[in-house]
Structure 1
Amino acid sequence: MVENQSASGPDLSQGIPVHALHEGKLLGHVGGKDVLVVRTADGIFAIDALCSHYHGPLVDGLVEGNTVRCPWHHACFDLRSGEAVRAPALSPLSCWEVDQRDGKLFVQNKRDQPKQEQPARSDTPEKVIIIGGGAAGFAAAEMLRRRNYQGSIVMLSADTAGPVDRPNLSKDYLAGSAPEEWLPLRSDKYYSKQNIDVRLRTEVTAIDVTARHVVTGNGDKIPYDRLLLATGAEPVRLTIPGADQPNVYTLRTLDDSRAIIAAAKSSRRAVVTGASFIGLEVAASLRARDIEVHVVAPAKCPMERVLGPELGDFIRALHEEHGVIFHLEDTVVAIEGSKVRLKSGAVLEADFVVAGIGVRPRLALAEQAGLAIDDGVVVNAHLETSVPGIYAAGDIARWPDPHSGRSIRVEHWVVAQRQGQIAALNMLGRQEKFESVPFFWSQHYDIPINYVGHAGKWDEIVIDGDIKAKDCTLQYKSGGQVLATVTIYRDLESLEAEVRMEREIA
Structure 2
Amino acid sequence: MAEDKKPSGPDLTKGVAIGDFKDGKLLGHVGEEDVLLVQAGSEIFAIEPLCSHYHGPLAEGLVVGDTIRCPWHHACFALRSGEATRPPALNALAVWDVTRDRDRITVARKREAPKPSIAHRSAPTSEKFVIVGGGAAGFVAAETLRREGFAGAITMLSNDGAMPVDRPNLSKDYLAGNAPEDWLPLRGEDYYQDAGIDLRLNTSVSGIDPKTRSVTLGNGDKLPFDRLLLATGAEPVRLQIPGADQPHVHILRSVADSRAIIKASGSAKRALVIGASFIGLEVAASLRARKIEVHVVAPEERPMQKVLGPEMGDFVRSLHEDNGVIFHLNDTVEKLDGTRAALKSGGMIEADLVIAGIGVKPRLALAEHAGLAVDRGVSVSEYLETSVAGIFAAGDIARWPDPHSRQTIRVEHWVVAERQGQTAARNMLGRRERFDAVPFFWSQHYDVPINYVGHAESYDDIAIEGSIKDRDCLLRYRKDGRVLAVASIYRDLDNLKAELEMERSRA
TM-score by length of 2: 0.96
| Correspondence for 1:293 | 294
Tell me how far apart the structure 2 counterparts of residues 75 and 65 of structure 1 sit (CA, whole Å). Answer: 15
Tell me how far apart the structure 2 counterparts of residues 119 and 187 of structure 1 sit (CA, whole Å). Answer: 20
1:379 is matched by which residue type in structure 2?
V
Tell me how far apart the structure 1 counterparts of residues 369 and 4 of structure 2 sit (CA, whole Å). Answer: 50
Report if the CA contact (8 A) 1:131-1:228 is conserved.
Answer: yes
Q: Tell me the CA shift for residue 6 of structure 1.
A: 3.8
| Correspondence for 2:488 | 487
| Correspondence for 2:210 | 209
| Correspondence for 2:99 | 99
1:192 and 2:206 aligned: no
Tell me how far apart the structure 1 counterparts of residues 391 and 371 of structure 2 sit (CA, whole Å). Answer: 11
Matched residue SS, 1:388? coil
2:406 is matched by which residue type in structure 1?
G
Tell me how far apart the structure 2 counterparts of residues 408 and 125 of structure 1 sit (CA, whole Å). Answer: 36
Q: Tell me the CA shift for residue 125 of structure 1.
A: 7.3
Matched residue SS, 2:139? helix
Report if the CA contact (8 A) 1:381-1:433 is conserved.
Answer: yes
Matched residue SS, 1:169? helix
Tell me how far apart the structure 1 counterparts of residues 469 and 100 of structure 2 sit (CA, whole Å). Answer: 48
What are the Cα deviations for residues 155-190 of structure 1, in whole angstroms up to 9, with x where unaligned? 000001010000000000000001111110000011
1:502 is matched by which residue type in structure 2?
E
Tell me how far apart the structure 2 counterparts of residues 397 and 176 of structure 1 sit (CA, whole Å). Answer: 33
What are the Cα deviations for residues 106-135 of structure 1, in whole angstroms up to 9, with x where unaligned? 11212366899878999x871111100000
Report if the CA contact (8 A) 1:233-1:362 is conserved.
Answer: yes
Tell me how far apart the structure 1 counterparts of residues 113 and 341 of structure 2 sit (CA, whole Å). Answer: 57
**Structure 1: 5+ residue stretches without partners:** none
Tell me how far apart the structure 2 counterparts of residues 3 and 55 of structure 1 sit (CA, whole Å). Answer: 18
Task: Rate the CA distance shift 1:6–1:391 in 2: closer, same or farther, 3 A.
Answer: farther
Report if the CA contact (8 A) 2:123-2:151 is conserved.
Answer: no
| Correspondence for 2:131 | 130
| Correspondence for 1:77 | 77
| Correspondence for 1:392 | 393
Tell me how far apart the structure 2 counterparts of residues 450 and 226 of structure 1 sit (CA, whole Å). Answer: 35
Task: Rate the CA distance shift 1:439–1:31 in 2: closer, same or farther, 3 A.
Answer: same
Alignment of 1:462-473 (within 5 A): 462-473=463-474
Task: Rate the CA distance shift 1:113–1:330 in 2: closer, same or farther, 3 A.
Answer: closer
Bigger drift between 339-348 and 410-419 goes to 339-348
Report if the CA contact (8 A) 1:77-1:86 is conserved.
Answer: yes
What are the Cα deviations for residues 45-88 of structure 1, in whole angstroms up to 9, with x where unaligned? 11111101001100000111111000000001111111111100
Task: Rate the CA distance shift 1:110–1:224 in 2: closer, same or farther, 3 A.
Answer: same
Report if the CA contact (8 A) 2:121-2:146 is conserved.
Answer: no
Alignment of 1:264-279 (within 5 A): 264-279=265-280
1:440 and 2:441 aligned: yes
Report if the CA contact (8 A) 2:119-2:195 is conserved.
Answer: no
Task: Rate the CA distance shift 1:176–1:98 in 2: closer, same or farther, 3 A.
Answer: same
Task: Rate the CA distance shift 1:469–1:185 in 2: closer, same or farther, 3 A.
Answer: same
| Correspondence for 2:263 | 262
Matched residue SS, 1:395? helix
Tell me how far apart the structure 2 counterparts of residues 63 and 102 of structure 1 sit (CA, whole Å). Answer: 22
Matched residue SS, 1:391? strand
What are the Cα deviations for residues 362-391 of structure 1, in whole angstroms up to 9, with x where unaligned? 000000110000000000000000000000
1:485 is matched by which residue type in structure 2?
V
Q: Tell me the CA shift for residue 42 of structure 1.
A: 4.4
| Correspondence for 1:237 | 238
Tell me how far apart the structure 1 counterparts of residues 329 and 6 of structure 2 sit (CA, whole Å). Answer: 47
| Correspondence for 1:342 | 343
Count of residues in Structure 1 that have an aligned counterpart in Structure 2: 504
| Correspondence for 1:367 | 368
| Correspondence for 2:90 | 90
Report if the CA contact (8 A) 1:273-1:279 is conserved.
Answer: yes
Matched residue SS, 1:19? helix
Matched residue SS, 1:192? helix
| Correspondence for 1:496 | 497
Q: Tell me the CA shift for residue 19 of structure 1.
A: 2.4
Report if the CA contact (8 A) 1:46-1:79 is conserved.
Answer: yes
2:417 is matched by which residue type in structure 1?
A
Report if the CA contact (8 A) 1:125-1:428 is conserved.
Answer: no
Report if the CA contact (8 A) 1:299-1:329 is conserved.
Answer: yes
Tell me how far apart the structure 2 counterparts of residues 193 and 63 of structure 1 sit (CA, whole Å). Answer: 34
| Correspondence for 2:159 | 158
| Correspondence for 1:376 | 377
Tell me how far apart the structure 2 counterparts of residues 477 and 120 of structure 1 sit (CA, whole Å). Answer: 49
1:8 and 2:8 aligned: yes
Report if the CA contact (8 A) 2:296-2:328 is conserved.
Answer: yes
1:36 and 2:36 aligned: yes
Report if the CA contact (8 A) 1:376-1:398 is conserved.
Answer: yes
| Correspondence for 1:20 | 20
Tell me how far apart the structure 1 counterparts of residues 144 and 284 of structure 2 sit (CA, whole Å). Answer: 35
Task: Rate the CA distance shift 1:125–1:48 in 2: closer, same or farther, 3 A.
Answer: farther
Task: Rate the CA distance shift 1:296–1:22 in 2: closer, same or farther, 3 A.
Answer: closer
Task: Rate the CA distance shift 1:225–1:260 in 2: closer, same or farther, 3 A.
Answer: same
Matched residue SS, 2:354? strand
2:148 is matched by which residue type in structure 1?
R
Bigger drift between 413-422 and 96-105 goes to 96-105
Matched residue SS, 1:505? coil
What are the Cα deviations for residues 442-463 of structure 1, in whole angstroms up to 9, with x where unaligned? 0000000000000000001000
| Correspondence for 1:424 | 425
Report if the CA contact (8 A) 1:275-1:296 is conserved.
Answer: yes
Report if the CA contact (8 A) 2:118-2:146 is conserved.
Answer: no
| Correspondence for 1:449 | 450
Matched residue SS, 1:341? strand
